[in-house]
Amino acid sequence: MKIIKTIAELEPIAGSGRKKAFVPTMGNLHAGHLKLIEVAKRRVSSQNGLTVASIFVNRLQFAPHEDFDQYPRTLDQDCELLEAHGCDVVFAPDESVLYPSPQTVRVIPPTELADLWEGHFRPGFFTAVCTVVAKFFSMIRPDVAVFGQKDYQQLKVIELMVRQLNMPIQIIGVPTQRNESGLALSSRNNYLSQAQILKALELQAQLQKVAHDVHHTTLDFASITSKASQDLTQKGWQVDYVSLVKQSDLTLAHRGQDKQLVCLAAAKLGNTRLIDNLEITLTTEVPST
Ligand code: PAF
């Protein structure tokens, strides 16, 4: 496996003419990332293609009060894991390589999508993500890029960027990987104490409860999600949002109109902000118990 730090070293790989499947990460890899690598590999291995991962903690996508400094950096361990999982190339640039001068050209996704949910609580987040991902895309020139569905809105925003900017890249979303208890894997789980790791399961449990209420009651969606939000608050979470939205555009969904739903949630446990989601498909409007 090649570990590359500069754009000059990357160029022969980008221009090699071989198919490339790309997995962008911020490092501190866990089984969720390794699943993305596995999916990427499967996409190109039969065609003698290359699996390329990036490791870069993108300062632009952290607000000043967020955890940029604290974000775990474990490059050696990450490279060992990537190598063991058959990754061919790791691009791990320093900030001075990616941002040799202030990044004044940015990719700004539309407010209708990017100012909702995560974008509302993390202003500028999706502009920063699109900007860095677009830079990686033009440096690596992948045929396929793989993203986790845990960051549901991020995946939607990237799909839109690629479509509207006519980037010839196939975007693949991979279902969220969970631990044996159902907790969505995340590098931010490292911030949690043992007790908080158990408590963190309450977030997914609330999403399951929302799905149950969607399927088995006639309650309107806003009542279902506000109850979920209240329950989490009562249990000691600081809730940013629990929302039932349309999978297509992430705007609020309504009972009787929408069937392809996703419940998106973000909440803080102590100082750690966690996100999770659950897709829900309504096939019938008749409640059953
Ligand atoms: O999902 C992430 O880890 C990041 O947002 C990404 C896509 C690597 C961009 O920095």
Q: Which domains does the chain have, with CATH numbers?
A: 2-174 (3.40.50.620), 187-281 (3.30.1300.10)
pLDDT of residue 250: 98
Share of the chain above pLDDT 90, in %: 98
* Ligand 1 contact via 55 beta carbon (within 6 Å): no
Q: Which residues, including other chains, have CB under 8 Å from residue 84's CB and lie 6 or more apart?
A: none
Q: Is the CB of 157 under 6 A from ligand 1?
A: no
What CA–CA distance (Å, rounded) separates 277 from 115?
A: 18
For ligand 1, say whether the CB of 129 is within 6 Å of any of its atoms: yes
Write the pLDDT tens digit of every residue in 143-169: 999 999 999 999 999 999 999 999 999
Whether 118 lines ligand 1, by a CB cut-off of 6 Å, is no
**In this predicted structure, what is the pLDDT of residue 54?**
98
Does ligand 1 lie within 6 Å of residue 132's CB atom? yes
Residue 286 in this model has a pLDDT that exceeds 90: no
* Atom 8, ligand 1: residue with shortest CA distance: 25
Q: How confident is the model at residue 248 (pLDDT cuts 50, 70, 90)?
A: very high
pLDDT at position 288: 52
Distance 55 CA to ligand 1 centre (A): 9
Question: Which atom of ligand 1 lies closest to the CA of 54?
Answer: 8
Atom of ligand 1 lying closest to residue 61 CA: 10
The mean predicted confidence, pLDDT, of the chain is 97
DSSP class per residue in the chain: -EEE-SHHHHHHHHTS-S-EEEEEE-S---HHHHHHHHHHHHHHGGGT-EEEEEE---GGGS-TTSSTTTS---HHHHHHHHHHTT--EEE---HHHH-SS---------HHHHTSHHHHHSTTHHHHHHHHHHHHHHHH--SEEEEETTSHHHHHHHHHHHHHTT---EEEEEPPPB-TT-PBP-GGGGGS-HHHHHHTHHHHHHHHHHHHHHHH----HHHHHHHHHHHHHHTT-EEEEEEEEETTT-PBP-TTT--EEEEEEEEEETTEEEEEEEEEE---SS---
pLDDT exceeds cutoff 80 at 287: no
> Quick check: 285 pLDDT over 90?
no
Cα–ligand 1 centroid distance for 24 (angstroms): 6
Q: Which of 129, 131, 146, 158 to mutate to test the pocket of ligand 1 (most atoms within 8 A of CB)?
A: 129
Which two tokens mark 286? 């008749």
Judge whether residue 2 has pLDDT over 80. Answer: yes
Ligand 1 midpoint to CA 33 (Å): 11
| pLDDT, position 235 | 98
* Per-residue pLDDT reduced to its tens digit, 196-220: 999 999 999 999 999 999 999 999 9
| Amino acid 242: pLDDT | 98
Q: What pLDDT is stored for residue 114 in this prediction?
A: 98
Compute, in angstroms, the gap from residue 157 CA to the centroid of ligand 1: 12
Residue reference for tokens 């109109």: 257
Tell me, what's the pLDDT at 69?
96
- The arithmetic mean of pLDDT across residues 81-107, rounded, is 98
Residue 147 CA to ligand 1 center (angstroms) comes to 8
CA of 41 to the centre of ligand 1 (A): 19
**Which whole number is the average pLDDT over 11-15?**
97
What pLDDT shows up at residue 280? 98
Mean pLDDT of 217-230: 98
- Asked if 206 contacts 231 with a C-beta cutoff of 8 angstroms, the reply is yes
Q: Is the pLDDT of residue 289 over 70?
A: no
Span 137-142, average pLDDT: 98
Q: Is the pLDDT of residue 222 over 90?
A: yes
Query: According to the model, what pLDDT value does residue 152 have?
Result: 98
Percent of the chain topping pLDDT 70: 98
Instruction: Enter the pTM of the model.
Output: 0.97
Residue bearing tokens 């992948």 = 142
Instruction: Give every CB contact of residue 242 below 8 A, 6+ residues apart in sequence.
Output: 206, 207, 210, 225, 226, 228, 229, 232, 263, 264, 265, 267
Closest to 211 measured CA to CA, from 127, 277, 143:
277
Residues tagged active-site:
33
Q: Is the pLDDT of residue 88 over 60?
A: yes
Best of 91, 95, 106, 154 for a ligand 1 pocket test (most atoms within 8 Å of beta carbon) = 154
50 lines ligand 1 (CB under 6 A): no
